[in-house]
């Protein structure tokens, strides 16, 4: 790489790191506030909060890096143009495509970083987060099983247990559920057991009754039972640490998918997930290329490059719209996985067109004048 390439790449990487840090902090704070309320209200300690927010960082970084790469490229291009550095470089014989060499290297670095996150770090963090959520759920289950106390695990639900035997039998259970707007329900049982199932823990009550008070008729119904199961999933979220999930599996695990995973998710869905992980990081290359190439069209101007910056933002939004359309098409038909690469193909095509116009300023001015003429014509 030449001296100018190294200079431009260093500028891009410095601002890329700065904007990434700022955007990650913004996303992380928004995520942390909601997570803090949830965990602290559940009685969890600060260390659990720190661990959960740390495990959520890889997914946030994967989301932010392509955006920060685009912002860095636009910022650097605007600054180089404002300080006439681009004019000086191009006057020495550098074509727009030659100027873009460092931007291409920068985009490839961003792609590699996002690829590592998408294929390895994000799935591993999801696996660990799933396990920790299951452990927290078990802790919450033990927390609500305290004898001799009225406990309110969530608003509208009150639980009382007279005593708990060494064998885990709950004696003299009282459970009030007033979350429904049409009725209040009270469950009582002489004894009960916590039974773990694949979906969520169940409170199995034996020899008890159900009292239901209707708010509309103001009548109470009374039902006795020999055994009754109350689903605790609404009180304690169900998390299976061993559950198979596409987002929790690394790409290598998906490529070497076992029969049980193929039967559970389907070969088409696994293939779509792999292609999604391959195509999404390409936005880390497309964004910087579009941003920098769009600003090369303007050349030097005392009035700045606000129109070119707005055009670059519009092009990136258009790329994201194509990505959303492709995602919607895949949800309807998993065989359309190839549409995931359309945003990258479109972005590269537009970048090539922009560089073609930047290398021919007279043609670019004629097109701009023609567009201005057509806009000014009376309807």
- Among 180, 254, 251, CA closest to 216: 180
Q: What is the pLDDT of residue 237?
A: 53
Q: What pLDDT does residue 242 have? A: 45
Q: Residue 181: pLDDT band by 50, 70, 90 thresholds?
A: confident
pLDDT of 240 over the 60 cut:
no
CA 210 to chain centre: 43
- What rounded mean pLDDT belongs to the chain? 82
Whether residue 332 is predicted with pLDDT greater than 70 in this model: the reply is yes
Return the pLDDT at 322.
Answer: 93
| Interval 224-252 mean pLDDT | 73
What would the mean pLDDT of 236-255 be, rounded to a whole number? Answer: 68
- What is the model's pLDDT at position 112? 95
- Say which residue, 201 or 339, is predicted with more confidence: 339
Q: What is the pLDDT of residue 117?
A: 94
The pLDDT score that the predictor gives to residue 236 is 63
Contact 261, 246 (CB under 8 A): no
pLDDT band at 241 (very low <50, low <70, confident <90, very high): very low
pLDDT at residue 68 greater than cutoff 90: yes
For residue 72, pLDDT beyond 80: yes
Report yes or no: 77 and 292 within 8 Å, Cβ to Cβ. yes
Does the structure show a pLDDT above 90 at 56? no
Higher pLDDT, 52 or 36: 52
Distances (CA, A) of 96 to 17, 74, 85, 279: 25, 15, 13, 26
Apex CA 187: angle with CA 186 and CA 193, to 5°? 150
- Percent pLDDT > 70 in the chain is 83
Alpha carbons within 13 A on the beta-carbon side of 35: 21
CA distance 343 to 302: 34
Is the per-residue pLDDT at 199 higher than 90?
no
Q: Is 301 strand, coil or helix?
A: coil
List 140's β-bridge partners, or say none: none
């Amino acid at each position: 790489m030449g001296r100018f390439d190294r200079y431009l790449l260093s500028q891009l990487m410095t601002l890329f790191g700065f904007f990434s840090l700022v955007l990650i902090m913004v996303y992380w704070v928004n995520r942390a506030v909601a997570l803090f309320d949830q965990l602290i209200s559940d009685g969890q300690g600060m260390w659990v909060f720190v661990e959960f927010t740390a495990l959520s960082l890889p997914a946030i970084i994967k989301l932010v890096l392509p955006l920060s790469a685009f912002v860095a490229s636009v910022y650097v291009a605007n600054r180089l143009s404002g300080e006439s550095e681009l004019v000086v470089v191009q006057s020495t014989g550098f074509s727009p495509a030659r100027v873009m060499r460092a931007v291409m290297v920068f985009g490839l670095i961003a792609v590699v970083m996002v690829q590592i996150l998408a294929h390895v770090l994000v799935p591993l963090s999801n696996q660990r987060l799933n396990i920790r959520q299951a452990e927290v759920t078990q802790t919450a289950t033990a927390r609500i099983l305290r004898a001799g106390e009225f406990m309110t695990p969530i608003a509208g639900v009150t639980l009382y247990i007279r005593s708990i035997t060494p064998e885990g039998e709950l004696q003299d259970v009282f459970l009030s559920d007033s979350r429904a707007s049409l009725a209040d329900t009270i469950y009582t049982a002489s004894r009960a057991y916590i039974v773990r199932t694949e979906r969520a823990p169940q409170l199995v009550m034996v020899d008890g009754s159900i009292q239901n008070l209707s708010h509309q008729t103001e009548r109470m119904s009374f039902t006795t039972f020999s055994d009754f199961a109350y689903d605790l999933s609404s009180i304690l979220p169900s998390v299976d640490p061993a559950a198979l999930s596409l987002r929790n599996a690394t790409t290598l695990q998906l490529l070497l998918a076992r029969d049980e995973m193929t039967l559970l998710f389907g070969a088409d869905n696994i293939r779509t997930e792999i292609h999604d992980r391959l195509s999404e990081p390409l936005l880390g290359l497309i964004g910087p290329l579009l941003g920098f190439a769009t600003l090369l069209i303007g050349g030097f101007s005392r009035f700045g490059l606000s129109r070119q910056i707005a055009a670059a933002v519009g092009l990136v939004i258009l790329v994201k719209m194509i990505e959303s359309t492709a995602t919607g098409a895949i949800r309807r038909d998993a065989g359309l996985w190839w549409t995931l690469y359309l945003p990258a193909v479109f972005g590269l095509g537009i970048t090539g067109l922009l560089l073609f116009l930047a290398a021919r300023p007279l043609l670019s001015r004629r097109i701009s004048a023609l567009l201005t003429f057509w806009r000014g014509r009376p309807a």
